[in-house]
Structure 1
Amino acid sequence: MNADHRPDPDTLLALAQQEERQRQSGRLKVFLGAAPGVGKTFAMLEAARQAQRSGVDVVAGVVETHRRAETEALLDGIEQLAPQSIAYRGVELREFDLDAALARHPALLLVDELAHSNAPGSRHAKRWQDVQELLARGIDVYTTLNVQHLESLNDVVAGITGVVVRETVPDAVLEQADAVELVDLPPPELIARLRAGKVYLPAQAERAREHFFREANLAALRELALRSTAAQVNARVLTLKAGTAPAATWSTRERVLVCVGADSSGARIVRAGRRLAAQLHAEWTAVYVDTPQHGVAAATREEIVASLRLAEQLGAETVTLSGRSVAEEVLSYARARNVTRIIVGRPARSSWRLRLRGGLVDALLRGSGDIEIHAVPSDAPPAPPAPPTTTAATPARPWPWRAYGLAAVGVLLATAGCYLMAPYFELANLIMLYLIGVVLVSRRGERGPAVLAAVLSVLAFDFFFVPPHLTFAVSDTQYFVTFAVMLVVGLVISELTVRERTQGEQARLRERRTAALHQLSKSLASLRGAAALLDAAVRHIAEVFEAQVLALLPDEQGKLTIRAGMRAEFTMNAKEQSVAQWVYDLGRAAGLGTSTLPFVDAVYVPLLGKRGAVGALRVRPADAARLVLPEQMRLLEAFANQTALALEVDRLGEEAREARLAADTERLRSSLLASVSHDLRTPLAAIIGSASSLVEYGEQLDDGERRELAANIQSEAERLNRLVGNLLQATRLEAGTLTLHKEAHDLETVIGSALARLATALEGRPLHTTLPPNLPLVPLDPLLIEQVLVNLLENALHYTPPGSPLEIGVEGHTDAVVITVADRGPGLPAAGEQLFQRFWRGGQSDHPSGSGLGLAICRGIVELHGGHIEASARVGGGAVFRFTLPLAPDAASAPPPQEPAP
């Protein structure tokens, strides 16, 4: 066997390790179906009974028969595990008992409905996670799955059927299965089973037939199931092939490879590949191999880029490879991808080099093996090229006089060294000095000067050191062999040195590209907001490509506007704006290095996300010749894709935040309605009752009773007013429409106003107020802070026994004042920050609950002032509420106050 065709040792080792893991763990077989009712459970039970007849210990962990008699009959004779009962919200749920299955440890366990979600309280949230644990414990598992439950097909199925499947299984579970058996049933037969009541009950069946079980839906799902099974089988084939016959081509599936070369026939070859792939219904790839042997002119680079972009537009995957030989790289890639046909261009004219050495077609034919080679005639030979002209896009490359001069100087230095060494060394040793000179010249990486150095070395050695000296005549014919060997060795050394330097430069370029992509990804991952993301992307792209970069995003009308750029003063004219808008609207690149508007001095790249274009980039490089290289264009597209992904993730995060805000607003609205319907009903009922008593029995009541009823009306009306005020205040805080009117105020006046409002409620309560002397004026909104004090005092009155004392204290600090409201009641529940949440109520049984808004309003008002509020238990019994107000008018926050001594 050819050494190049031997199996890869690393691949064999990986396969051996995989087989070892499979021996240690259980094997998974999935019975895959297109829809419910195709007979997956029936097929699984038939396979299980066959295994049981072969002596395998089979146990049914969970099997959903759906009361089908023929399915239940197959369960006869198979041991079944008792289900596990899990209590959830007052309901007993019966689930698969994983612990019982592990304790029983059969050789084969049947676990139906792989995508099932377990009841809350189970060890795993999903049944497929139970199966993974069973496999890890060495138990083989048979299971069933519908194709619509695959995670990657979730949105596809939703688009086909209009039904969003909630229970999904990661594709990796199916990909890691040891066997996948497709259980197939044509759509008409499945619909007939549905009508016969063999899938759902009659009422459910009718609804399913009108929505999910349409023949078109079932046909599409059937195709998805077939494709998924074929993909899993194909992946297994490629894995086995890599370890057994990497050089062979197994034509299990047609794959076409198109070779794009550095000539003008690339477009023709790409179109031929597209036609062949369409005829075969095959996947196809366009590949270009960049070799170090020959430089590529700027015009040729543009043709290569155009050909690869044409292939992308026609639906191909494009790949750029690097290697020493085009044929070797193409064949290696083709064997790795299991390609069956290669399309390559055939030269229109045969040169003497092709007759002697053979071309790419000959090399592919010699090494293709089972791969078919299609040679497409190239275009007619082009007309003689016009004299080169210097343009801004493709500057003419100057002749490297300096490099050739250095080559001549190197030979002169080697000759001088040989003159010094000639009296002491043989001629064979002097040759080594010339070869060292060739190596040093070749290290510059230019082939022409290296060849010149090799030739000049032979001539100088002959002229100066081979007798007769100072002439090119040779007295001994043996020196001709010396000259030939010296020339060949010099040329080989120069070629290898140049190639090694070129490959090193390519490796460094790839390393820089990888590092740049990594750095960009790292920067984008740590930033939030479109402006910051675009600034980071523009900075990295400008550094890597040495270019002016502009990032454009659409406004509300969909018109692109500049959002970030390395040159703040740079703007775009109307023509450039129209090009960028075209790129954004169609999602295709344009400008320099593309087939659309290639004459402009910049390239416009769309920022393509999963949901379409999110913006565009304008890149104007300082050296246009660099950017038209295929690998540079692909790198730029990678940068654009990374930026678009980051922008899309940021946008999705913003949408999620908006959705959460909308949900919170909706919950607030619902809570407000619930509060209005419950909390306001009590004072309204009391007011209506007292008022109706006055109206109906007023003349029969004495003055005291009438005054009592009137006082009750006033008290309940005030309570109702406070409730409505709290609701409005909470709504304004939630919506962010509450406006502060801060002024420097005396805190003693504010506290006095709050106590005056609660004078009636505070009767019979000992109240102690502590105010330090020389208290500074505090910047605050007096009405809002008065409301905070009223709410805290009402809360204390509500949850403390009648007659218990209350305390109000004020402490002055350098940057803030601290106000405390303390009581000697039963203390606080262990709720922490929950005390200040909307509609949270203490729930003490001795007191009726309030609306649950008072403390939430307090926190909102205090934080609006830039302060902080907290509650804590008081030493000796009771609770203390403490909040700070910063003394600086524009303070954003204040540190939590220290608890004073009791």
Structure 2
Amino acid sequence: MEGIPAEKKRGKLNIFIGYAPGVGKTYAMLSSGKEEQKDGIDVVAGFIESHDRPDTMALLEGLELLPPLTISGAGAANQEFDLDHALQRAPDLLLLDDLGHTNAAGCRHKKRYQDVEELLRAGIHVYTTINIQQIESLTDIVASITGISVHERIPDSVFDSADQVKLVDIEPDDLIDRLHKGKIYRSDEAERAQTQLFTREKLTALREIALRSTARQLNRIAIQISEQAQREEYDTKDHILVCLSPAVSNKKVIRTAARMAEAFHGRFTALFVETPETMALTPKDKEELRGNLRLAEQLGAQIATVYGEDIPGQIAEYVKTSGVSKIVLGRSENKKRGLAKSNVVDKLTVLVPNIETYIIPYSQPSSPRKFHLNAKPLYLSASDIARTTAIIAGCTIIGLCFQYFGLKEANIVTVYILGVLLNAMITKGRLYSVFSSVLSVLVFNFFFTEPYFSLRVYDSGYPVTFLVMLAASFLTSTLTMRVRDQARESAQKAYRTEVLLETSRKLQQAQDFPAIIDETAHQMVKLLNRTVIFYSVQQKGLSAPVIFPKRDSGSIPAVYTDENERAVADWVYKNNKRAGATTDTFFGAHCLYHAVRGGDTVFAVAAIVMDQEEPLDVFEKSLVIAMLGECGLALEKERLNRQQQEIIMQIRQEQLRANLLRAISHDLRTPLTSISGNAGILIGNSQVLSEEQKKGLYTDIYDDSMWLINLVENLLSISRIENGSINLNLQAELIEEVISEALQHVNRNSVKHKIQTNVEDDLLMARVDSRLIVQVLINLVDNAIKYTQEGSCITLSARRDGQMVLIEVSDDGPGISDEAKIRLFEMFYTGDNIRGDGRRGLGLGLALCKSIVNAHGGTIGVRDHFPKGTIFYFTLQAAEVSVYE
């Protein structure tokens, strides 16, 4: 499977920014668009909010305006920017108002800036507008000035990535004058706007912020160039750390940290410390935490997750190991009460005293948390109630026994404390521990204090005993449950880490694309216990979905792989971005889609079924991203290995082609010249030549022709073997018959040598393709004939050697040097040996023999023949003789 690289072409983004509504952003954008149109640029207006202003509407004349997308819902019809129409129209430049606009439900993206990002990826240039209040990191500052909280915002990364920012400026007094003349709002709206925003003091402050932000963005390119030239100094840059929490006010802390990271040009990390209490968060807190996490990602933070009960300790460890230089924390206005422990801020300043810590006060005091035994809905379990009752009853029986034997009441108290400890270990939920502690005190009072079988007490010291017993029981149960929760969370963390490490190991062992996808999917199912769907990238797009169901799941609903879900997967593949459930793009989908990529190349799309499932927590999300990253690296490595193999094959083919051309240009010239020369002599001098001379010329022509024929046969066989197109027809054959067939086709000069055979068993058989093995024997015998003196003895022998048949071709010629034996079976190696007839070979015969024997599962070699000569030997798979009655 081949991944298709993401499109490199990208459009340019120009932002027209103002410090308040009515400064003329849309007018300036349309004017610039008209100027571009005069230069021959294809300009289209995507969605313009003219607010019925005559000057603005006049500029729309002569511009193509895309029809809006009408979305019906909640008894009203909303008109939105039609992204698909704009992508289909594909102009050079698109004018689009209000970059921070929130799209209506039913659009592909939740925010218009996400529409713009898709337009830019498609290569379309975009002009757009925003107000300074809409930049995410400035929201709190602007709200403190105006008292108005803006909900339609854009991430700082969008503003920072703009290719050009143009500030549309106007004096505050002139803007207020425009408001009074009705050029911004209608009369009723103008009066309200003047009270809330359009005062000289507020507008002046906003204008100052806009000027600073624009100047900062204009200097960014120069700063980036400077940093690019000094990469070695990156390690000395500031590293800003912000801590994530479910608090609503945590957003202000994140924005402040983002501004600091921008100001110091440093790294920005958002850290979340997962504790045992994280699983007990209310759904509202979990949703708030996910929102804070998304905000940190939008502002460019690198998300990190650690686990531990000691939050300050975990933060301090991360600070020490990650080179953090500044910490940004939030602090509410709630004061510590009584003997309460010092808060996170105080502890952290003690653990890392040398790190700059910035405390951001909450603008509003946090509402005190209500105490509850468990954040999850409380329900009673009959089995846990039975266990609690049985334990208290058992402790009571043991206490009565102690009382019977005269043991002191302190021993009985210890028994009940032990019972509370045991109850905390075997029951689920803090409710049963509290119930067990209170019940133990009441039962002790009822059975073991005077008056017996009554909750009244005579001794004035008993109330103290009861309080101590209750406190000891409650503390014991609390510590036991905490240890149990920690053990469970540690086991879960160890399991997740083990899955991640196992994924890395299995991906390294996977051999091909399907195996890598299969291993990754099974590991994701193992980690999340959710159904996972993979779409592999092929030449023409995505393949059919491959479903990996979760454990103990039934049939998978077709809705998870229908056309709508497939469209989301296609979008993720084409845009190299995540989408689907829990995101702002295709948020109505049933699955969460991630691109599996290596660099900018998308190899597959992974879908995690989220329908009726809890969203992934921070730690799970980090592990999933890590696993998909490992998968992408493995797929990239597999692709590079295949490309390397193809390159090696091409190099071998080029070498083969070059050697063939060299051999043809050099070694084939001699026999061809001899054939043409002898034929020319016969044609021109046939009347002069004697019959004996003619016979000699005929013989030379025949020998040269046969040499060329054998050479061509070897070349064809070598090419078939190299291309893998040779097919073996293995059958049980008698070795003696194979040898006899080969001797009938050896060089005619064999009559000048003594050739003999020696087969130990007439019924010796092997599983061979007889046609190919005959060719091996012919090449070996011809080789012996060519390179030994006339009258030499050449012997073909065969015998059984275990499960193999050993065949040898020996001679008593001059032998072969040890240096030549090492390379004898290499293609085109001739060792500078000259044949007896003075003609040099191409060095293909022995290489062909080796390829054929190896294809049969045998081995071939050469050794000395004592007292002189050479033995070529090879082995074949033996076959048994079939006996039929």
* 2:421 corresponding residue in structure 1: 439
In structure 2, relative to structure 1, the CA distance for the partners of 1:273 and 1:648 (3 Å cut) is same
Matches for 1:253-402 after TM superposition, within 5 Å: 253-264=237-248, 269-293=253-277, 295-298=280-283, 300-312=285-297, 314-345=299-330, 369=353, 371-375=356-360, 377=362, 398-399=379-380, 402=383
Matches within 5 A, 1:545-556: 545-556=528-539
TM-score, length of structure 1 as denominator length:
0.62
Judge conservation of contact 2:331–2:362 (CA < 8 Å) in 1.
Answer: yes
Aligned equivalents of 2:223, 2:660: Cα separation in 1: 50
Give the C-alpha shift of residue 376 in structure 1.
6.2
SS at the partner of 1:504? helix
1:836 partner amino acid: F
Q: Which has the higher contact order (CA 8 A, sep 6+)?
A: 2
State the shift of 1:855 in Å: 0.9
CA deviation vs aligned residue, 1:57-78 (integer Å, no higher than 9, x gap): xxxxxxxxxxxxxxxxxxxxxx
**Structure 1 residue aligned with 2:629:** 641
Secondary structure of 2:544's match? Answer: strand
Which of 806, 813, 826 is the aligned partner of 1:837? Answer: 826
Deviation of the 1:747 alpha carbon? 6.1
Q: Displacement of 1:527 after TM fit?
A: 4.0
Partner amino acid for 2:281?
V
Deviation at 1:462, TM superposition (A): 4.2
Residues 309 and 594, structure 1, Cα contact 8 Å, conserved in 2: no
Distance in 2 between residues matched to 1:732 and 1:726, nearest whole Å: 10
Equivalent residues of 2:765, 2:879 under 8 A apart: no
Once the two structures are TM-superposed, the CA of residue 310 in structure 1 deviates from its matched residue by: 4.8
Q: Bigger CA drift: 615-624 or 491-500?
A: 615-624
- Give the letter for the 1:801 counterpart: Q
TM-score (norm 2): 0.63
Q: Structure 2: how far apart are the matches of 1:569 and 1:401?
A: 33
Equivalence for 1:46:
none
Deviation for aligned residue 1:558: 3.0
* Helix, strand or coil at the partner of 2:748: coil
Indicate the larger mover: 263-272 or 427-436. 263-272
Q: Which amino acid aligns with 2:242?
A: V
**Correspondence for 1:577:** 566
Q: Supply the distance in 2 between the matched residues of 1:450 and 1:353 (Cα, whole angstroms).
A: 26
Structure 1, unaligned runs of 5 or more: 1-217, 235-252, 386-393, 890-902
Matching residue of 1:496: 479
Residue-by-residue CA offset, 1:723-763 (whole Å, 9 max, x unaligned) = 33322332222112334566777766655554444453223
1:146-201, Cα deviation, whole Å (9 max, x unpaired): xxxxxxxxxxxxxxxxxxxxxxxxxxxxxxxxxxxxxxxxxxxxxxxxxxxxxxxx
The AA in structure 2 aligned to 1:561 is A
How big is each residue's C-alpha offset from its partner over 1:104-163, in whole Å with a ceiling of 9 and x where there is no partner? xxxxxxxxxxxxxxxxxxxxxxxxxxxxxxxxxxxxxxxxxxxxxxxxxxxxxxxxxxxx
Correspondence for 1:808: 796
| In 2: Cα distance, 1:488 partner to 1:791 partner | 98
Q: What residue number does 1:110 align with?
A: none
Question: Which residue identity lines up with residue 321 of structure 1 in the other structure?
Answer: V
Alignment match, 1:870: 861
One-letter identity of the residue aligned with 1:869: I
CA positional deviation for 1:649: 3.1
Distance change >3 Å, CA 744–CA 434, structure 1 → 2: closer
Q: How far 1:261 moved relative to its partner?
A: 0.9
Gaps of 5+ in 2: 1-221, 881-885
Aligned equivalents of 2:291, 2:788: Cα separation in 1: 83
Aligned to 2:849: 858
TM-superposed CA distance for 1:784, in Å, is: 3.5
Q: How do residues 79-158 of structure 1 correspond to structure 2 at under 5 angstroms?
A: none
Code of the residue aligned with 1:496 in structure 2: it is L
In 2, Cα distance between the equivalents of 1:887 and 1:368?
A: 77
Say which SS state the counterpart of residue 542 (structure 1) adopts: helix
* Pair 1:609 & 2:598 matched: yes
Kindly indicate whether the alpha-carbon contact (under 8 Å) linking 2:244 and 2:292 is maintained by their aligned counterparts in 1: yes
CA apart distance, 1:678: 1.6
CA distance in 1, matches of 2:291, 2:601: 23
Q: Counterpart of 1:840 in 2: which secondary structure? A: coil
Deviations along 1:527-578, one digit per CA (max 9) or x if unpaired, are 4233344444444443444344444422232313345746898673333333
Is the Cα–Cα contact under 8 Å of residues 384 and 428 in structure 2 kept in the other structure? no
SS in 1 for 2:629: helix
- Kindly indicate whether the alpha-carbon contact (under 8 Å) linking 2:424 and 2:481 is maintained by their aligned counterparts in 1: yes
Structure 2: which amino acid aligns with 1:851?
A: L
Alpha carbons of structure 1 residues 265 and 707: separation in structure 2 relative to 1, 3 Å? farther
Cα distance in structure 1, aligned partners of 2:475 and 2:311 = 20
SS at match of 2:756: strand
- Match of 1:486? 469
Q: Is the 8 A contact 1:821 1:882 kept in 2?
A: yes
Instruction: Describe the shift of the 1:336–1:787 C-alpha distance in structure 2 as closer, same or farther (beyond 3 A).
Output: closer
Shift of 1:254: 2.5
Q: How many residues align?
A: 641
Counterpart residue type for residue 358 of structure 2: I
Secondary structure of the corresponding residue to residue 836 of structure 1: coil
Hey, what's the Cα distance between the residues in 1 that align with 2:350 and 2:747?
Answer: 106
SS of equivalent to 2:808:
strand
Residue by residue over 1:485-530, the C-alpha shift from the partner in whole angstroms, topping out at 9 and shown as x without a partner, is 3333333222222222211222222222233333333444444233
For the pair 1:714 / 2:702, whether they are aligned, the reply is yes
Q: 1:229-278 CA distances to partner (integer Å, 9 max, x unpaired)? A: 563xx5xxxxxxxxxxxxxxxxxx43221221124455564444333312
1:106 matched residue in structure 2:
none
Which residue does 1:508 correspond to in 2? 491
- The answer on whether the counterparts of 1:829 and 1:842 sit within 8 Å (CA) in structure 2 is no
Name the CA shift for 1:783/1:219 in 2 (closer, same or farther; >3 Å): farther
Deviation of 1:795 after TM superposition, in Å, equals 0.7
Secondary structure at the aligned position of 2:775 is classed as: helix
Q: Using the alignment, how far apart are the partners of 1:378 and 1:844 within structure 2?
A: 95
Q: How has the CA–CA distance of structure 1 residues 778 and 430 changed in structure 2, closer, same or farther, with 3 Å as cutoff?
A: closer
Report the 3-state secondary structure (helix = DSSP H, G, I; strand = E; otherwise coil) of the residue aligned with 1:278: helix
Separation of aligned partners in 2, 1:472 and 1:507: 43
Specify which of 771, 775, 778 is matched with residue 787 of structure 1.
Answer: 775
Aligned counterpart for 1:675 among listed residues 659, 663, 675: 663
Question: Is the Cα–Cα contact under 8 Å of residues 584 and 616 in structure 1 kept in the other structure?
Answer: yes
1:719 aligned counterpart, secondary structure: helix
CA 1:879–1:496: 2 relative to 1, 3 Å = same
1: distance between equivalents of 2:784 and 2:225?
65
Q: How many angstroms apart in 2 are the aligned matches of 1:740 and 1:301? A: 66
Structure 1 pair 866–472 and aligned structure 2 pair: CA distance change class (3 A): closer
The residue type equivalent to 1:875 in the other structure is: F
Report if the CA contact (8 A) 1:800-1:826 is conserved.
yes
- Name the stretch that deviates more: 476-485 or 253-262: 476-485
Q: Secondary structure of 1:261's partner?
A: coil
For residue 804 of structure 1, report the CA deviation from its aligned partner: 0.7
* Displacement after TM superposition at 1:780 (Å): 5.4
Separation in 1 of the partners of 2:249 and 2:683? 103
1:777, 1:438 → 2: CA distance? 83
CA 1:708–1:309 in 2, change beyond 3 Å: closer, same or farther? farther
Q: Is the 8 A contact 1:260 1:304 kept in 2?
A: yes
Q: 1:880 aligned to 2:832?
A: no
Return the alpha-carbon distance in structure 2 between the equivalents of residues 603 and 630 of structure 1.
15
Q: Which amino acid aligns with 1:498?
A: M
SS at match of 2:705: helix
| Separation (CA, whole Å) in 2 of partners of 1:844 and 1:793 | 17
Q: Deviations over 1:676-714 (max 9, x none)?
A: 122112212323443444566666555544443343333
Distance in 1 between the 2:233 and 2:728 partners? 65
